Each structure stands twice: as C-alpha cells, then as structure tokens.
Structure 1
Amino acid sequence: MKMGIALGLAAAVTLLLVMGTLFYRRWKKQNPKHLLVDAFLERHGHLQIKRYSYSEMKKVTNSFKNKLGEGGFGSVYKGQLKDGRHVAVKILSELKGDGEDFINEVASMSRTSHVNIIALLGFCFQGSKRALIYEYMPNGSLEKLIYEDNAVIGDRQLDCQTLHDIAIGVARGLEYLHKGCNTRILHFDIKPHNILLDENFCPKISDFGLAKVCTRKESKVSIFGARGTVGYIAPEVFSRNFGAVSHKSDVYSYGMMVLEMVGGRKNIKAEVDASSEIYFPYWIHNRLVSNQELGLQNIRNEYDNEMVRKMTIVSLWCIQTNPSTRPSISKVVEMLEGRTELLQLPPKPYWFSPSTSP
C-alpha cells in the first residue's frame, strides 16, 4: 500500500517536472526577446552591479509609493537601499522588440564610471519585470531648469555661471564616453531631459537605451534607421546623404541642447516676440554676425555676456550640417574653457529636422 502511494507520488512529481520543462521551453520559444536578454546576462555574469528580484524592488521603493515621473519607457520611483542610499528606480514598461533598449542600458552603464555619467547601481530582470536602479538626483532633469517657466529650482536662480558649468560637465561626460572608456559609447539621445542634476547641480548623462557600443578604433558606425529625439537628431542619423554616422552625431545633439540652455526655449519655432516665430539658431547667429546685444534674460553683466557668447559660438559650430565641420567633443571642452575672442563665428546653420529636411 505504502509502496503504491510512494510510486504514485514519484510519478506525479516526475509528470509535473516534465510538464514544467515543456511549458518553460514553449514559453522561451514564444518569447525570443527574453532569450536574448538571458544570453546577455549569462555572458556578463561578472557585472559589477547587483541583480535584484522584483520583490526586492518593491521593498526598495516601499511598494512604489513615491513616483518621480513617467514617460514612454515606464515610470520612475524614489527608493532607498539597505545601506541608506537614496535611489531612482526606473520600472520599464512592456519589453519592446528584442529587448535591445534594456541590453543597451545595462551593457553601456556597466562599462562607465565618471562624475558626469549617472551611476547604474543595479537591475532587475524577472520574467516580464524589468527595472534599472540609479543614483538619485535631487534636482531632477536639466529640462526642468532651463525653460523660462521653470527658471528657479528651490532657492537657486538660474544664472549664466550655472549654465556654463553644466555645459562643460556634459561635454566632459561625452568626452569620457567617446574617448575615456575601454570601448567607445555613442549616446544618440543627448537632450535636456536626459541630463540629471545632483544636489550641487553637477550634470550627469543618463538614459542609454539608444546607445551604441563600438570599438575605440571605429570612427564610423553602422545603425539601422534613425534614432534619437526630433529636434536633436543629427542630419546624418536621419539620412546618410548628409554623411557618416559617428561620434560627431552626439556633438550635434549636444550643440542643440546648449542652444536651448542659452535661449531658455526650444530651438524649433522659438518665440522671439509676440507676433513672430523663427528658428532660434538663425536668430542668435544673426545677432552675433551683426554684433548686436544677445538680449537674453539671464545676462546681467559683461562677464555673463562673454560666457553666453562663448557657449553660443561653440554650439553653432556643433550643429553644422556637415559632420566633418563639427569639432570633436574634446575640442568643444577646449573651446568652452578657452578665451571667447579666440573663437571664430561659424557659417549659418541649416534649419534641419526630420519633418523639414533642407
């Protein structure tokens, strides 16, 4: 009798194991994107960042009580690790395509360590649950700082020195990605929203979902289709007729971002007066050519005027349509730290966007 029960239980367990294995294999077959992510994680078992379970994510975020923001990628929550550090936890929405964005983020961030690059502290990949854990940036994104309606954070008034320091910090971060890593990393989505600010307004580049990792020797890269955000996409990324895609594509996006920092407005169809609209890079280039006052709200003295003039000239060089005409990001750092009178004014830039190609 007992022998029969034991054999029956053994048979039931064996059947459950077989069914479970078959179910798992079938699920994996139907979800090839998870295979790709799993393969990546197996290859990179030595990652210096911790892998968390989803239940641990709930504990870190106190069951996702404090939401910091959301977007097409998912939602971001404030959390706290066991050691007391505050973190930002990005809970990603439905895995898109083959999981490339998730892999890009983990692969890129695990290779970086720089004062101007956001630190990835951990990740979660459990079934359909995916999350990325970053150091917490109390002053949020640059986007909230630069536009006119949000020119004050706490008791800190936006000033030209802060803008200049942020511009140099972002440039140094990009220089590290382009030259300082063991592999070259092209970001492909530099914009104010992806620049985060710590308690001292030190800028840190974030969101590496569109990044491309390549060898240090590669001067040109191959990508399929356009990637980035309209208004910051380099012409050659949208159409190869403009030239090859390279690290100069990040330089273009950086230049567009710095112009928005200077103007406190969007570059495309930026408001100049109550009755007309114009492409801001044209407007400010015309002012420089005719040696007019820049007339921007944050300029309070001659020192401010010189800093803004320098940032403007450098950014106009960065957004030249021909990639070969743009400076490298190392040259950008050199220009921003140098004397304004040594800078030459670049040619007038094209008005380029995917919707209004020249």
Structure 2
Amino acid sequence: MTTIYDIAKKTGYSPTTVSKVFNNYPDVREKTRVKILETAKEMGYLPNANARSLTTKRSWTIGILFVEATGAGIRHPYFGAVIESFKKIAVSKGYDLMFISKDVGGRRSSYVEHCKIRGVDGVVVILSSSDDPDFQELLDSGIPCVILDSSPEKAHSVCSDNIEGSLQALRYLHSLGHRSIAHISGGLNTFAGEQRQQGYEQALRELGLTFRKEYITSSDFFSMESGYDAMNGLLALPDPPTAVFAAGDLLALGAIRAVQDRGLNVPGDVSIVGFDDIEMSRYITPALTTIRQHTEQLGAVAAEILTSSIEEQDTAVKSVMLPVELIIRDSCRPVT
C-alpha cells in the first residue's frame, strides 16, 4: 500500500510537506501541491478519511441543499453547470459532496439535524426558500453556508446581476425600435424571477415605455412548457407585443416554439431575448439572443467562499454579485 513516505521519496519533498498537501494547509506553494497530488494519483494513493478527520477536526464533506419547491429541478442546465463548477473547486481542495434533505434513515428530520448527523463542514444552498423555517434554522445554526441566487443577511451569497441583465435586454430591444415589449416572468417565488421582473419594470420606466399589466405573464416554473403557454397568451392579446424578454432560456425556447406553431416567425413577427445562455441556446433556430450568466464563475466563487469560511473560520459575511453580458444572436430584428 502506498504511503505518504513513498510519495515523499518519489517527489523529493518531505513527508511533512506531503501531509500538509493532503490536509489542505495554505502554506504550500501551488506548484508543489500540484506535483504531489499528481504523483499521488499516479501511485494510486488514497488518503485515510478517518485520519484526516482526527487531524483537522473536519469531515471534509460539503452538503448540497437543493430546494425543488419551485419545480425547476436539478436537470435545468443552469443549475447543473453551477454545481459542476462548484464541484471542481471543492474536490480540488479535498472535499466530497453530498446532497442534504429532510429525510434521514427513513424518518423526517430538519436540514440542521441531517447536517449534524452527517457531520458536514459546510453547505451550499441552491434555490433557497425564505419561507421554509427549516432553512432559517440552518442559517441560525452556525454551520458555514453559501447561498446561490439569494441575498440573506446571515450567510454568504453569490448571484448574478439579474436586474442589470434585464436592463441590458430591454435597452437592446428598445435600440431596435421595439416599444411593445412583454415579459415572461419566472415567477416571484424565486430570487432570480423576482429580480428579473424588477429589472424589466425598472427598464420600462428608464426608457419611457408604458407599463401594461397584460404584458407580464407569470409562471411558477422556468420551463419550456411554461414559456410555451405564456407566449400563447401574449399572442392572443388584441395588441400583441413585438418583442418578448423571457426570464430564462428555457422559457424563451418554449416561447419560440409557440410562435412557430402559430405559423409565425422569430424574429420576423416577434423578437425574443432569454436569460442564462444555456448551451442549447446557440444551437436552436433561430439562435437565441440572451443574457449570459457566468455559471463556471458562480460555482467557483461560491466554492472558494465556503471552503475559506470552513478553513479560516471567517465569520464576516460575503455577498458577491457577478456581472452578466448580452449575447446577440439571431432571435431579434429591428422594427421596420
């Protein structure tokens, strides 16, 4: 069985340095860390989890709390991409990931109880619900948490600039001559949906456009089905919009299908802008103009904040908002 002494001998570093790398000590140069980890992988070395826990007083496990009450589901490309980028950083720092629920051993429990039973060092929360008392209990528990797409006062948070993204979308449509711009909302039951609708309404005021209640169609799900139904409702209006800003790319893709099923054309009859820039958006016809969220950066920043909070026991709450950008493709055209 390969030991740290074997790795030390092969790399030329001391056993102490090798041990520091496996226990994630900060006082090791990155070049040294990479060489030791690569050598360990080549030699098939597996650090003893129990020994690491005794040495560092940590379980080296991070919980993922994914609240699915919104119906979005982990299969949504945005969430999958964020979790993958979070995983890359966390695993590179020696952590395992596990999903947290309210059910442990076949019985109902709270998030906090599950975290304590599993001994997780910290939790990344996705799609949090401020109305859930168990979630609030988790924030009050002292367990390090970082929350994506939210901005609580008691925990670290990372999100995209949703309001600015909405402003960019409407400014672009306005620059093309559109004055009748509708919004397919992701619903006010999520942080992102609420923020993007807020940005839409703010943009109307900024651009001097009339607010029309019938031009906002709400949905509880960021899904193609919801986008399809919402677009059909907008097209049935006596004065349908010439452009639509959808709060998510899946909503936008459903909207495009609804337009096409009515024998109309995007962007010939209706211009459509999405939000997220999921991979599918660039391959559909027409390719979707959208607001890009940097999913890799979102997950990576969240992982860096959480692991730092765990290892340095830093109690200062960090709130990071990342920029977005307009990606212009083929789903919009100027008004003639």
Do these two structures clear the TM 0.5 threshold for a shared fold by scoring above it? no
TM-score (norm 2): 0.26
The normalised TM-score by structure 1 is 0.25
Task: Between the two structures, name the one with larger relative contact order (CA 8 Å, sep ≥ 6).
Answer: 2
